[in-house]
Amino acid sequence: MSENKDFLEKEPIGKLLLKLALPTLAAQFINMLYNIVDRIYIGHIPGIGASALTGVGVCMPLILIVSAFAALVGYGGAPRASIYMGKKEQHTAEQILGNCFALQIIVSLILTAILLKWNRGLLLAFGASENTIGYASSYMNIYAIGTIFVELTLGMNAFITAQGFAKTGMYSVLIGAVSNIILDPIFIFGLHMDVRGAALATIISQALSCIWVVAFLCGRKSFIRIRKENLRLIPGIILPCLALGLATFIMQASESVISICFNSSLQRYGGDIAVGAMTILTSVMQFAMLPLQGLSQGAQPIISYNYGASNAERVKAAFWLLLKINMIYATVLWALVMLIPGVFAGIFTSNAELIEFTIPALRIYMAVMFLFGIQISCQITFNSLGKALESIIVAVVRKFVLLIPLIYIVPMIWNSDRTMAVYMAEPIADFFAITFTVLLFRVRFRDALKKIQKPTGK
């Protein structure tokens, strides 16, 4: 414990942030590759790339829902298991692990049945057209079969990192990402399976990651293990886990709702090409956001520990350093998108018409990207200070209060080009959301610092 205190209280903030952020950034980058590699390969399928990319893009709301359920169980159970490990209550920690493992399997089976039976109707409702539903449904039919691998990999990997095995957790992601990158061209181009090949490569890759995760949690290296006697669901064990994971579930599931709103509105005004462009825009935004989140997660333990230690100066120093780094990264990426949007679009498609359409859409969609360093820094600091409610509030304001209504309102006001007006909802919502976040953060951050400065002010 003394080493941990020296590490977090005495080491220079810059060096400390670098040490903690690099592994997280590596995991985030690997995960980003995993998520977008399918879209890159699919977008370059000769002849059908643009339509196929649009079809797979329409699948994103369903994929996000699957991930959200994994987070509900895994991100709710893993912290509680860590708490009981800290209390030396090994049996309870293993009960939590076993209950979450069993529930993940149950949830996987239910989601698989729903996706196989109703995916076509859901995809049409989410923005697929008659031209793209074939690709979307083909991808989802195969992806649905691998739902159990996705759920167990994402949900159970949280229990590996919660025990302090950060590298092992990173390897879980790395195994799947590398496998996917290798298998995608083999199945898509070599075996001429198109989108079905991309889906098959994904579930095989997830299966390999799943085997790694479950094998580790059943093996001797894991401090807590999956045991047969702990697989029976106990309400007193599993319900508190679900309560803790609910906030993460809501935040991830809301991305699915937003994706549905964008796709349905774009299909109405711009057709398949507008929906295809949206797939590219969200991929570029993901490229922008994940490093910001990785840096912020590296700062979280520094801010949290020093806040608990009533060291206001280090809390302030860590926040301001995080803000500066995030602002620099966000501004540089924003400048690149504004200057060379065609390069970013060309990563995901070789279709000249789609690239031409995406260029102005990308500039509009990411118009205030340079301010996003503020949003992420403030939101992660809310979490670090234990202000979960404020963190949820700023996310809900941006997504539900501002963005979703604006997706439908802006096209009604800007009649000259309603398709581009849909994309404009994003920067408008971001500007007002960031303004709200800054105002709320100034008050709550000042109050939090005053609270820990009281003892030294006497």
The per-residue pLDDT for range 416-450, each reduced to its tens digit, is: 789 999 999 999 999 999 999 999 999 999 888 88
Mean pLDDT of the chain: 84
Rounded to whole angstroms, the Cα distance separating 372 from 366 reads 10
Does residue 301 or residue 67 have the better pLDDT?
Answer: 67
Any residues with CB less than 8 A from the CB of 231 and at least 6 apart, and which?
98, 99, 101, 102
Token code pair at residue 70: 């994994």
Query: Secondary structure of 5-51 in the HEC alphabet?
Result: HHHHHCCCHHHHHHHHHHHHHHHHHHHHHHHHHHHHHHHCCCCCHHH
Determine which of 101-105, 193-197, 206-210, 359-363 has the lowest per-residue pLDDT on average: 193-197
Q: What does the CA dihedral 294, 297, 299, 301 come to, rounded to 10 degrees?
A: -150
pLDDT tens profile 10-65: 677 777 777 766 766 776 677 666 667 777 788 788 878 777 877 777 787 788 88
Residue 430 has a pLDDT of 93
Single out the residue of 217, 309, 244 nearest to residue 74, CA to CA.
244
Dihedral angle, C-alpha 123, 127, 132, 133, nearest 10 °: 20
Q: What is the maximum alpha-carbon separation in the chain?
A: 74
In whole angstroms, what is the distance from residue 101 CA to residue 241 CA? 12
- At 3, is the pLDDT very low, low, confident or very high (cuts 50, 70, 90)? very low
Which of 55 and 305 is assigned the larger pLDDT?
Answer: 55
At a CB cut-off of 8 Å and minimum separation 6, what does 101 contact? 152, 156, 217, 226, 231
Q: Are the C-beta atoms of residues 197 and 135 closer than 8 Å to each other?
A: no
Query: DSSP of 139-174, one letter per residue?
Result: HHHHHHHTHHHHHHHHHHHHHHHTTT-HHHHHHHHH
pLDDT of residue 86: 65
The two three-digit tokens of residue 449, written as one number: 């610092």
Question: Structure pTM?
Answer: 0.71
With beta carbons less than 8 A apart as the criterion, state whether 433 and 398 touch.
yes
Position 106 pLDDT exceeds 80: yes
- In the predicted structure, residue 456 carries a pLDDT above the cut 50: no
Q: What is the pLDDT of residues 173-195, one digit of tens each?
A: 889 888 988 998 899 888 888 88
**Domain spans in the chain, listed from the N-terminal domain onward:** 26-269, 270-458
Rounded to an integer, the average pLDDT of 347-366 is 89
Specify the pLDDT at position 7.
55
Q: Where are the beta strands (DSSP E) in 263-411?
A: none
Highest mean pLDDT among 154-163, 232-241, 332-341: 332-341
Judged against a pLDDT cut of 50, whether residue 133 lies above it is answered with yes
Can you give the pLDDT at residue 39?
75
Q: How confident is the model at residue 363 (pLDDT cuts 50, 70, 90)?
A: very high
